Structure 1
Amino acid sequence: MKVAVFYSTRTGNTRRLAQGIADELSAYAPALIDLTQLQGPLPAADCYLVGYWADRGRADEHAQHFLKQLTGQKVGLFGTLGAYPYGPHARHIMQAAEDCLSDSCLLMGHFLCQGPVDPDLLRRMAADKPVAPQAKTRHTIAATHPNQTDIQYAASLFKERLQHQ
């Protein structure tokens, strides 16, 4: 089985996660492709793993556009966000990304983890109003992700799903 790993990134978080997943899935000879650099036809693959960064409650525009073009494919999703990767906000983001897929696609799994918030965004937020202590804590924790544990969890999810196809 051949896998292609696509990603969109703004600050490098999703690229780091995508690279780690590709490394962990080396037995599947994955192609690693930045969605902003994608040209020409899609590489031949049995499964497309697509990474996005959360932007205003959904996958970023590059990832959304790409996901909406896929039909009849096996697709795994992974993403990064500054908020905690559980709870209603994270579930909303995951659902919004999944809603971009055609009904003809088979969702192979979905992984979401934290990543550092864009420093420019943090500065703009702080200039607008004082940052709540809980938000500062969340941003501090987010800055430690994606880490090797996140990469291993994501890769394990997709590896398990690929082995059962």
Structure 2
Amino acid sequence: MKTLIIYSSKTGNTKKVAYGIYEGLKDEYDLSIEDMDNIKDLSLLDDYDTLLVGFWIDKGTANSSAKKFIKNIKNKNIALFATLGADPSSKHGQDVIKNMNKLADKSNKLIEVGIYNGLVDPKLLEKLKTKPPLFLPKPILNKMISAGEKSREPNEEDMNDAIARFSKALKKVS
């Protein structure tokens, strides 16, 4: 069974998780890894039985290019992973999981979903502090800033969870 890990990463968090999964599982499974931005022809996906697709979270769901990419995947075993600037175990994190479960086309078999910590882009955090969007209510803005200040890069615990989670998922479809 050939598996492709595909990722979309803005600040390096999702790339770090993708490569953590790859390094942790490459000796056990037939894996390849690719940056989503480098995939110009979706026919490349025809060579793979299973896709592990990673992305960063924007407004509670996959970033727009990843969302579009995922919608175009058909008839595959698919697993999704994401990085999030808020605590993955928070209510927002749980809402993100629900949204992730709705991303893949119904022709796919969704085998696993996981979210991991991601450090919020310091430029975005500074922008929220100095030039907040006018449409954003103050309490929500303050929550976003607070979560951003507490955010962190994916760590060893995140990597170990991702490796275990996706190894178990791949075993199910092997």
Q: What TM-score, normalized by structure 1, do the two folds share?
A: 0.89
2:120 is matched with 117
Question: Kindly, what percent of the aligned residue pairs are identical?
Answer: 29
Match of 2:52 among 41, 49, 57: 49
Deviation of the 1:120 alpha carbon: 1.0
1:59-104 Cα deviation digits (max 9, x unpaired)? 0012101110111110011000100102331222222233221112
* Structure 2 unmatched ranges of 5 or more: 133-137
1:29-75 Cα deviation digits (max 9, x unpaired)? 31111111112222412210000100111100121011101111100
The structure-2 alpha-carbon separation of the partners of 1:89 and 1:134, relative to structure 1 and needing over 3 Å to count, comes to closer
1:142 and 2:143 correspond: no
Q: Distance in 2 between matches of 1:128 and 1:23?
A: 40
1:8 is matched with 8
Aligned alpha-carbon RMSD (Å): 2.1
Shifted more, 20-29 versus 84-93: the winner is 84-93
Q: Distance in 2 between matches of 1:60 and 1:42?
A: 22
Structure 2 SS opposite 1:109: strand
Q: What TM-score, normalized by structure 2, do the two folds share?
A: 0.85
Q: Distance in 2 between matches of 1:108 and 1:99?
A: 13
CA contact (8 A) 2:129 2:145 kept: no
Shifted more, 15-24 versus 127-136: the winner is 127-136
CA contact (8 A) 1:70 1:102 kept: yes
Q: Distance in 1 between matches of 2:17 and 2:93?
A: 17
Matched pairs, number: 163
The structure-2 alpha-carbon separation of the partners of 1:63 and 1:133, relative to structure 1 and needing over 3 Å to count, comes to closer
Q: Distance in 1 between matches of 2:121 and 2:31?
A: 28
